[in-house]
Amino acid sequence: MHPNTAPRRRYDSEFKSQILIACEAPGASISAVARAHGLNANLVQKWRRGRGLGGAAIPAKQPQAIARAAEFVALSLPCVAEPVSSTTSTTPAPDIRIEIKRGATTLNLSWPSAAANDCGAWLREWLR
């Protein structure tokens, strides 16, 4: 071994299974799962193709493990449901406001609440 080369790390089949299950979660990115566990995405891809598993079988999807691997972000939205009467004018619902931070970058997004479905679709695509 070269003096500047670190020895290869070895991972047990249980750890590999957990990583592969996390990769199967809806909307999961292999790259993001790998980064979250300090792994190289190419290594995880190799595990997904079945190489480097040391003959260990990877179990079928386990719903509990998938649920733990997925992150849930709770959003508090203002309640705008008010009884409408003939004397009260209806005010439009406030805009949807989303703040996303990644490293030193912050994205502030304002979306009309009337187009909430479009906002949800855009956000799902962006988070992929």
User: pLDDT digits over 31-83, tens only?
Assistant: 999 999 899 999 999 988 886 555 444 554 455 544 455 566 677 776 666 55
The angle at the Cα of 29, spanning 25 to 35, to the nearest 5 degrees, equals 115
pTM value is 0.39
Quick one: pLDDT band at residue 84, thresholds 50, 70, 90?
A: low
Hey, where are the domains in the chain?
13-69, 96-127
Q: Which of 102, 88, 91, 96 is nearest to 116 (CA)?
A: 96
In which element (H, E) is residue 127 found? helix 116-127
Are the C-beta atoms of 118 and 125 separated by less than 8 Å? Answer: no
